[in-house]
Structure 1
Amino acid sequence: MDTQLTFASRRSALVCLHGCVASSQPLASNVGLDILKRGGNAADAAVAIAAALSVTEPCSTGPGGDAFCLFYSGHTGEVRGLNGSGCSPRAQTLDFLEGRGYTAETPPSPFDALNVTVPGAPACWCDTVRLFGSHKLSLQEVLSGAVELAEAGFPVAEVAAHHWANSVAALRDDGKELGGDLLIDGHAPKSGQVFKNPSLARTLRELGELGKPAFYQGRVAQAIVDIIDQHGGIMTVDDLSSHDSEVISPISTEYKGVRLWEPPPNSQGLAALLLLNILENFPLKAAGHNSSDYIHVLVEAVRMALTDAMCYLGDPDHVTILLETLLEKSYSHQRAQQISMDRVMKDTEPGLTTGSDTVYFCVIDSEGNACSFVNSVYMGFGSGLVPKDCGFSLQNRGAFFSLHRNHVNCVAGGKRPYHTIIPSLLTDAATMSQKPRLLAALGVMGALMQPQGHVQVLLNMLEFGMNPQQALDAPRVFVQYNQKSKEWSVNLEEGIDQEVAEELRRRGHKVNWPITGHKRSQFGRGQIITVGDWWNLSVSQAHLPSRVLWAGSDPRGDGCAQGY
C-alpha cells in the first residue's frame, strides 16, 4: 500500500437530479443510494449508510458508539435533530474514581473499561427512521444492505485498512487485545482482503426485527455488561435499558445571508457557530485563501472558540451559561477585537483526550429532505472491548470527561460527556415567517478538528467560490492544544505555501508544516451535498430554486458521492 497517500489527481464534483449520498466508503454509499431508489427518503438512507459503515469501517464507527442526526424537511422547511449520545454508568461518580486512585493528573487509560459510556447509536438509528423516515421501508429493510455486507464479506478499502492496523497496534501497546470478530487470524485485514463479520450481521438483523429492545435488553445488553465487568467497569443492564435518544432543537447562526445549523450541547456544535461569528468581523476574501493573514485570523478565532467551548459546554443539565449569550453578535465582536490585542488566553481544560475515529455522511432525496449524520466510537475501536458474539467494539467516549471537580464537564453518574461529533446543515437566512431553503448538508469528522473543518469548507464555498469537491480538496489547517506543554500548535497540510508557514512563525505561532501522507487524517474527512451551485452565483441568482444536486467526498478517505 502506498504509505504516502499523495493527492496527485483531481476529481469533479458529482452532479445529479433526483437523490444523492456521500460517505467515506463507496460500498456504504451504494447501500444508501439503493435505499433511495427503493422509495426510502434521506433519513432511511442515512441509517442504512450508518449500519453499512459499521461493517466496512469498524475502527471508526458501529453500534457500540454514539450518533447525532440533523434532518431538514423538504415539505415544511423545519430543521430537527436527534442526540444519540449515551451517559456514563450511574454508579460512576468522581468519588468512585478517586476511590480507585484516579485523579485529573492520573486518569484511567483512555482504553479503560471505565471510559465506556452507554452506546447511543442503535437507538438513534431506530428513532431516525421512526421520526424522520418515509415509512415506506421497514427498519429491517433499511438495515438489510449492511447485513448482507457483513454476511457475504467485502474487500477492505485502503485508508480503512491503514487505520484498522494502527488502531489494533495502539490497543496492543496499551495491553489490550481486540476481539476475534474484528480480526482475521489475530491480525487486521489488509487492503483488498475480504472480511466477514457474521456476529455483526446477527446483531443488525436482530435490531431490524425487534428494534431498540434487541440491543438495550436481552442478549446484546448482557454481553456488553459482561465484557465491561470482566475488565473492571461498572455498567449495568439498567444503565442500558434506561437509555433513549433525545429530540433536539438545533442551534444556528447567520453568516452573510446563510444560516449554519449545528446540534446543541452536549455536542460542540456551538464551537463552529462561535468561530463563524468571530470570523464574520474580518475581510477574509480580501485576505486570500490560505494566506498568512487568513490563517492567522482563523487560528486566533479557533483558539477563542475552542477555549469557550471547553470552559462552558457539557451535558446541558449541567451547563450554567446561556447559549444565547455566547451566540450574541456583540460577544463575538468583542472576541474578534481581542485578535489584534494581546494574545493572552486562558488554558483549555487539561486532561482532555482527542480522538478522530468517526464517520460523517449525508443524504438529500428527491423530495428535498436532507439528513446530516455522524457516528463514532471515539478513538480507534473505542475501548477495544468487543462483547461476545456481537461483532462490534464499545466506545470510550468517557475519556473526554474531566476529573476536575468543579468543571462543567466533570464526570458524574448518568451524565453525558462533552461530545465532539457534529453534523451540520446550511440554509438561507430566512426570516421567522419564511420557510428556510436548504442549501447544503455538510460535515467533517475528526474530534476537535470538526468545528474547524465545518467552517473551513464552508468558507471555501462562500468566500472563495469553490464547488463542494474543491472545498474538500483544499489544504486545511488544524489548531491543536497540547495539554502537557500548555501550548497551541498550528498544523498546516501539504499544499499550503512554505512562505505562509514561515510568516506564521514570525507572528509567534508554533507551526508544524507540511503535514503529509496518512498524517493528513488529523484534518478530518468530510462530505458535502449542495442544492444548486449557489457558491458560484450572485446573491440574487442564488435564491433561484434549483433541482441539481452537487456533491463532493473527501480525498483523505476512501469514500465517494453517488447520485441518480
Structure 2
Amino acid sequence: MRDFHFPGRSEVFASNGMCATSHPLGAAVGIDILKRGGSAMDAAIAGAFVLGICEPQMTGIGGDLFALISPANSNKIHAYNGSGRAPAAASAENLRAQGHETVPLFGADAVTIPTAMHAFAEMSEKWGKLGLDVLLAPTIHYAQEGVPVAPRVAFDWLDASKALQGAGKTHYLINGKVPKAGEIFRAPGQAEVLKRVAKDGVKAFYEGEIAEDMLNALNTLGGVHTASDFANVSSNETTPVSGTYKGTELFEHPPNGQGATAILLLNILKHFDIAAMDPFGTQRAHIEAEATKLAYDARNRFLADPDHTTKLDHMLAPETAEKLAALIDPKRAMPSAAALSEAVHKDTIYITAVDRDGMSVSLIYSIFHGFGSGIASEKFGILLQNRGAGFTLEQGHPNELGAGKRPMHTIIPGMLAENGIPTMPFGVMGGAYQPNGHARFLSNLNDFGMDAQSAIDAPRAFADGGVLKIEKGYSEQVRAELTDLGHKIEVPNGPIGGAQSIKISENGVLIGASDPRKDGCALGY
C-alpha cells in the first residue's frame, strides 16, 4: 500500500467490469461498452479505435495489433496475430542494390499492409457480442467532433511531428502547427472511413476507394504495394508461448512478436538472488541491464516471421538461459551485445479489459514510430505504419525483408496465470523496452511483493544500444555507481514506456492499475 502522505495513484477496485488504457476517453468508452452488455473484447476494440483519434501519434487504423484472450468460463489463453505483411514485390536485394543498409524509416518501403482493421473485425466476430458497427460508433463521433489533446499526447506530438510529410501534415497538424494541450483535434476523413466499414464491413477498407487512397500515397513515393496486397490481407489466431518465474506463469505472444525475449530475460534473472537486492539500487539495475543485453541479442538473431523462426525452443530452453547468465560479471558492464537489427522507438498503445463473465483481453496496437512512416493518404488521412523497418537487410537472416513476410515486432501483450488460472492481463508500452518492462513488472510483483500500481510506478532502467537509460526516479548515487561499473548512463528526455494491468482476485474483484507516465487510467463499474 502506498504512503498516502505523498502524491500517487491508488489501485482501482470494481466487481462488474474494468478497462485500463493510456487515455481516459479510451477507458471510458470501454466501460460504456461493458455496461451495454459487450464483452471484454468489445470493450478493448471500441477503446482501441478511440485511441487512434486520442493518440494519433501512437496508433491508428493504418497499423497492426497483437492480442491475448482468455475467454469466459475457460482457463485457455489464445493469441491473435494482427500484424501486416510486406507486399509481394518487396525485395531486400533491391534495397541493398540502392545502397541501403537498413530499411528507410520514413519511406514507402517501410510500410507493411495495415492489418489491425482486419484483426478487429475477425476478433469481434469470434469473441464479441455487439457487432463492429456498434464498436465503431464512439470513434466516428470523436473523429467528427474532435477530442482535446491531452498533455502527454502534446508532449509526444511535438517531436513525432517531424516525421510527417505531404498529406500527413495536412491531416495531423492544426493550421500547420503542432497542437498544444487542450486544442481540439479532428479526423473527419477517418470518420468517413469508419462509417463505410460500419456499413459495408471490413472489405470496404481493403478494397475500393479507401484502399486506392492508401495505394496512391504509397505508389507516388515509390512503394511496390498493389491492390492485390491489400485485398489478400490476413490475420490469424495462434498459440502463446509461456514461461514461469517464481510460481507465476507468464504468457506472451509468439513470433513475430518479441514476447519470447521477456521469458528468456526472466530465465536469466532466475540465476541471481534479485529479491535480496535493493529494488531501486545499483546491483539490481546492473544485473538486469546485463541480462537484457544478452536476451535482446538472442531476440535479434532468432525472432522473425513465424514461418522463418526456427530456434524458438532453443531461445526458451533453461540451459540457454543458464549459459547466458554465466556470462554476466556482477562487477563490470559488458560491451553492448550486437547492434539491434531493427529500428527502435517507443510509440504504441495498450488496452486491457475484463468483463463480468470473466473474459480478459490484453491488446496492443501500434503504428511503430511516432506517426509511423509519416505517410498519410490524401483523401482520408489514414496514417501508415512503418513496421517494415523492423526487417533487416542482412542476406540470409531469418528476419530479412521478403515478399509476404511479417517483420519482427516490438509490440507484445502479456498475461499472468497462477496455478493454471489466468489472473492478470497486462502490458508495458515502450517499443524495444517492452520485454524488459514485462520482466521488471513481474519481478517487482514476485521478488519485492509490490502491488500492481507500485510495480508500474517504480523507476525504470533500460540497456539500449550501448546506453543504460535511467529514469529520474533513480538516485544520483545509483547513477554514479553504475557509471563506475562501466555503464554509459543517460537520463532520457521522456519517461520509459507506460503500463496498465487488471488483476482478477480470487473473490472476483477486479483491481486495475495504470501508469502515471501516460494520460490514462483504469476505470471499473
Please give the root-mean-square deviation of Cα atoms over the aligned residues, in Å: 1.7
Other-structure match for 1:554 = 515
Shift of 1:492: 0.9
TM-score, length of structure 1 as denominator length: 0.89
Distance 1:468 1:494 in 2: 20
What secondary structure sits across from 1:334 in the alignment? helix
Query: Aligned pair in 2 of structure 1 residues 197, 78: CA closer, same or farther (>3 Å)?
Result: same
> What residue identity is the alignment partner of 2:82?
G
In the alignment, structure 1 residue 53 sits paired with structure 2 residue 51: yes
Alignment check: 8 A CA contact 1:58 1:392 kept: no
Alignment check: 8 A CA contact 2:26 2:47 kept: yes
Deviations 1:356-383 (A, max 9, x none): 1110111111111110000010111111
Distance 2:450 2:198 in 1: 40
Aligned pairs for 1:143-154 within 5 A = 143-154=136-147
Shift of 1:58: 0.8
Shift of 1:444: 0.8
* The one of 470, 482, 487 aligned to 1:492: 470
Other-structure match for 1:257 = 247
What secondary structure sits across from 1:413 in the alignment? coil
Deviations 1:287-338 (A, max 9, x none): 12021111111111101110000011111211232x2222122221222122
Alignment check: 8 A CA contact 1:552 1:560 kept: yes
Query: Aligned pair in 2 of structure 1 residues 92, 77: CA closer, same or farther (>3 Å)?
Result: same
Shift of 1:548: 1.3
> What residue identity is the alignment partner of 2:281?
S
Unmatched 5+ residue regions in structure 2?
Answer: 1-5
* The one of 389, 392, 395 aligned to 1:402: 392
Other-structure match for 2:484 = 506
Other-structure match for 1:3 = none
Shift of 1:213: 0.4
Kindly, what percent of the aligned residue pairs are identical?
37
Shift of 1:177: 5.9
Distance 1:492 1:439 in 2: 30
Distance 2:382 2:454 in 1: 35
In the alignment, structure 1 residue 331 sits paired with structure 2 residue 309: no
Distance 1:405 1:427 in 2: 40
Alignment check: 8 A CA contact 2:163 2:374 kept: no
Alignment check: 8 A CA contact 2:59 2:367 kept: yes
Distance 2:320 2:109 in 1: 38
Deviations 1:190-225 (A, max 9, x none): 211122211111111222222220111112111111
* The one of 156, 160, 174 aligned to 2:153: 160
Distance 1:347 1:476 in 2: 20
> What residue identity is the alignment partner of 1:324?
D
Alignment check: 8 A CA contact 1:258 1:427 kept: yes
Distance 1:384 1:103 in 2: 19
Distance 1:331 1:217 in 2: 46
Distance 1:182 1:346 in 2: 37
Deviates more, 1:192-201 or 1:36-45: 192-201
Deviations 1:127-172 (A, max 9, x none): 1111222x2x111001111111111211111111121222113446
Deviations 1:521-548 (A, max 9, x none): 4x1011111112xxxxxxxxxxxx2211
Other-structure match for 1:474 = 458
What secondary structure sits across from 1:371 in the alignment? strand
> What residue identity is the alignment partner of 1:555?
P
Other-structure match for 2:117 = 122
In the alignment, structure 1 residue 65 sits paired with structure 2 residue 63: yes
What secondary structure sits across from 2:382 in the alignment? coil
What secondary structure sits across from 2:249 in the alignment? strand
Other-structure match for 1:530 = 503
* The one of 474, 486, 494 aligned to 1:520: 494
What secondary structure sits across from 1:520 in the alignment? coil
> What residue identity is the alignment partner of 1:312?
F
TM-score, length of structure 2 as denominator length: 0.95
Alignment check: 8 A CA contact 1:71 1:371 kept: yes
Other-structure match for 1:131 = 126
Distance 1:103 1:383 in 2: 17
Deviations 1:246-277 (A, max 9, x none): 21100000111111000111110110110111
What secondary structure sits across from 1:67 in the alignment? strand
Other-structure match for 1:288 = 278
How many equivalent pairs are there?
Answer: 519
Distance 1:351 1:260 in 2: 25
* The one of 388, 393, 400 aligned to 2:378: 388
What secondary structure sits across from 2:260 in the alignment? helix
Distance 1:312 1:281 in 2: 23
Deviates more, 1:83-92 or 1:501-510: 501-510
Query: Aligned pair in 2 of structure 1 residues 346, 58: CA closer, same or farther (>3 Å)?
Result: closer
Shift of 1:351: 5.6
Query: Aligned pair in 2 of structure 1 residues 350, 467: CA closer, same or farther (>3 Å)?
Result: closer
Other-structure match for 2:329 = 340
Deviations 1:416-461 (A, max 9, x none): 1111000010011x3xxxxx21221111111111111111122212
Distance 2:106 2:386 in 1: 6
What secondary structure sits across from 1:448 in the alignment? helix
Distance 2:48 2:99 in 1: 35
Deviates more, 1:282-291 or 1:79-88: 282-291
> What residue identity is the alignment partner of 1:18?
N
> What residue identity is the alignment partner of 1:102?
G
Alignment check: 8 A CA contact 2:53 2:60 kept: yes
Deviations 1:78-135 (A, max 9, x none): 1001111101111111222234x1332xx453101111110011011111111222x2
Distance 1:156 1:439 in 2: 34
Aligned pairs for 1:21-36 within 5 A = 21-36=19-34
Aligned pairs for 1:67-106 within 5 A = 67-99=65-97, 101-104=98-101
Other-structure match for 1:458 = 442
Shift of 1:31: 0.6
Shift of 1:344: 5.9
In the alignment, structure 1 residue 414 sits paired with structure 2 residue 409: no
